[in-house]
Amino acid sequence: TAGKTITCKAAVAWEAGKPLSLEDVEVAPPKAGEVRVKVEYTGLCHTDTYTLSGSDPEGAFPSILGHEGAGYVESVGEGVTHVKEGDSVILLYTAECKECKFCKSGKTNLCQRVRATQGQGVMPDGTKRFTCKGKELNHFMGTSCFSQYTVVSQFSLVAVNQEAKQDRTCLLGCGVTTGYGAATHTANVEEGSTVAVFGIGCVGLAVIDGAVANKAGRIIAIDVNPEKKAWAEKFGATDFVQADKVDDIVKHLVEMTDGGLDYTFDCTGNVKVMRSALEACHKGWGVSTVIGVAAAGQEIATRPFQLVTGRKWQGSAFGGVKGRTELPGLVEKYLKGQFKVDEYITHSQDLENINKGLEEMKKGGCIRCVIKM
């Protein structure tokens, strides 16, 4: 198949707010510096539904969504050396070129090598590889995993241990790495410290797992859904607070922790929750990490006094993790049973039923739904 166009199934987002539609799409071969991947499994993430809803300023239609994927390299374009046909790979919406100013800074995982074109829904050369019914389709987050075959930049994927099952490793492409990394990399939670996690979905649970790995002393999980208590405890939370059952969540948390938390995390994307997460931090040193994606046009607010008095507000994308450098090691840790991945999967669907999966995500009982491509 190398060098030839492949026709396969994909779930196409023709327009915002409409269900995905299963189509035959043509996937062109990879050009220089690109890789064509046979996607085997894709996790559903709220960012996919967010973009499908039409609220994402970068959302371009028609497109192929999906960004939490794992599969095999089908073929590589000219000049690609770090992956080869048959490699088991995880797709990376946060690319890593190892050469740009950002990659070389040692201060961030936000490689910018392909970021501008990624946001425009095109490959780095400005063109597209997907065609359906004579129309070109946009790429999404540099990955477009809702297709049985996709083409990505050579910087947007990483080969990992073949032993690890792809219906699990796909979760490392977004949710699990994002939460786990936010706790272990971005905040680097200290041993014995107090932690609060707002929003107990996949990302929130992964923050809890990361806080446990870093030996936090107390981990308070917060959600409006009481069913999340059991989930949070299973992952190692020591306390659960049902947010809508207390008058003032900030006051409540500050009282519970003798002055506030050492570390808090927003995994909701709700800007009011982000404010509470900051203000529940301990005076003088508390650090709040924003992870959730807020809807277009939303802004965060607090009294500057909160920062003047030593609370810090920061954010994290993909858990601060450099995909090509660090995901192979995370996969090894998973294989040794040193951190959780299987435990998030509550639902699975075939590609034909992807819309069912997207519906199931709206229920609290769905942590992750994995699509078999």
Give the nearest distance from C-beta 106 to ligand AHE in angstroms.
18
237: Cα separation from own chain's centroid: 21
Q: Residue with the closest Cβ to Zn ion?
A: 45
The one segment of 25-33, 42-50, 224-232, 256-264 that binds Zn ion by CB under 5 A: 42-50
Q: Binders of ligand AHE: how many residues, by CB under 6 A?
A: 11
Give the nearest distance from C-beta 65 to ligand AHE in angstroms.
11
Q: Catalytic residue at 324?
A: no
Catalytic option among 23, 26, 34, 68: 68
**C-beta of 183 vs 216, nearer to ligand AHE:** 183
Name the DSSP letter for residue 342.
Answer: G
Q: Catalytic residue at 202?
A: no
Q: Catalytic residue at 108?
A: no
As a whole number of angstroms, the distance between CA 101 and CA 136 comes to 32
Neighbours of 76 (CB within 10 A): 23
Residue 58 found at the interface with ligand AHE (CB under 6 A):
yes
Mapping DSSP to helix (H, G, I), strand (E, B) and coil, where does residue 312 land? strand
- Please say whether the beta carbons of 109 and 321 come within 8 A: yes
Q: Catalytic residue at 145?
A: no
As a whole number of angstroms, the distance between CA 266 and CA 264 comes to 7
Catalytic option among 36, 67, 252, 282: 67
Give the nearest distance from C-beta 271 to ligand AHE in angstroms.
13
As a whole number of angstroms, the distance between CA 118 and CA 216 comes to 37
Q: Catalytic residue at 7?
A: no
User: In the range 297-336, which residues lie near ligand AHE by CB under 6 A?
Assistant: 317-318
Residue 154 found at the interface with ligand AHE (CB under 6 A):
no
Which residues in 216-274 belong to E strands, given as ranges?
218-223, 239-242, 263-266
Name the DSSP letter for residue 270.
Answer: -
Single out the residue of 23, 26, 40, 56 in contact with ligand AHE (rule: CB under 6 A).
56
As a whole number of angstroms, the distance between CA 221 and CA 92 comes to 28
Output the CA angle 224-229-232, nearest 5 degrees: 110
User: In the range 161-220, which residues lie near ligand AHE by CB under 6 A?
Assistant: 174
User: In the range 156-185, which residues lie near Zn ion by CB under 5 A?
Assistant: 174
> Which stretches of the chain bind ligand AHE, using CB under 6 A?
45, 47, 56-58, 110, 115, 174, 293, 317-318
**What residues are labeled active site?**
45-47, 67-68, 97, 100, 103, 111, 115, 174, 368
